Structure 1
């Protein structure tokens, strides 16, 4: 799967500050709403509803907040590096440094799983997370992630 069609260079952010998971979801919702011309409140409600089902902190400092959003026709995403790790109550208890926000249409749940698998494969590639930590700009971070 070509992640460059889902996470565009202008949808990468570094240095996002959030003291808590719930504040992080607010910030991420706001960014997603702005990037994708969506209602911020609807995005926030969808992400919070999903998070209440169980943490989206998948471990190794990564969270993948995701939700179905009415009216979306294809998956879209953001890549965010927090300025300070956020406790997403991840399965390995490691605070979250990276958030991959994924939004998809009501009928795109299976497509979301393909996107998640592609992100996981990329992050498992040796040296990728370490290189991402060293990125000095959003453009450099994007380049490293896309490989």
Structure 2
């Protein structure tokens, strides 16, 4: 599995200032709708339902919200870089500025977990995060995220 299979160039955005997690999820839903044809309100609802189970802010300014949605045929991703960090109820209580959301088919099983592991490994790399935080061009962000690297699943 490779991030280039999960993340379309049009599914990356740099956002100025978001005021809430709800607004963040709305932006993620709108981007997913534009890039993959996912119904935006369905995506938002699915992200919010998952978040109720526990916050997806994993620490170090990173959030990995994810949800399963009926009608998808594969796992897809959306990436947001926030210019102003947002309070996200992260495990380390630090605000979030890098958000990589995943949307998976309802019955994706292990594929969803493999994708989540790959994204998590990628976002744990301090060098990648530094590059992501230093760039505001979506095409450059896509290149940073999808450049060839070891993609063996955990």
Which range, TM-score by smaller chain?
A: over 0.9
Shift of 1:34: 2.1
Distance 2:141 2:32 in 1: 18
1:19 aligns with 2:14: no
Which whole-Å CA distance do the structure 2 matches of 1:113 and 1:99 have between them? Answer: 17
Distance of 2:35 and 2:131 partners within structure 1: 26
Q: Which residue of 1 aligns with 2:53?
A: 53
Name 1:5's counterpart in structure 2: 5
- Equivalent pairs counted in the alignment come to 147
Moved over 4 A (4+): none
1:99-143 CA distances to partner (integer Å, 9 max, x unpaired)? Answer: 111101011132111111111222233411111111131111111
Partner of 2:89, secondary structure, is coil
CA distance in 2, matches of 1:136, 1:81: 8
The CA distance in 2 between the partners of 1:13 and 1:59, in whole Å, is 21
TM-score with structure 1 setting the length: 0.93
Question: RMSD across aligned C-alpha pairs, in angstroms?
Answer: 1.4
Q: Mark the CA change 1:59 to 1:75 in structure 2 (over 3 Å): closer, same or farther.
A: same
Aligned position for 1:79: 79
Assess, with a 3 A threshold, how the Cα gap between structure 1 residues 126 and 24 changes in structure 2: closer, same or farther. closer
> Aligned residue for 1:141?
141
Give unmatched runs, 5+ long, in structure 2.
Answer: 148-154
**Preserved contact between residue 51 and residue 65 of structure 1 (Cα < 8 Å):** yes
Q: State the TM-score, normalized to the length of structure 2.
A: 0.89
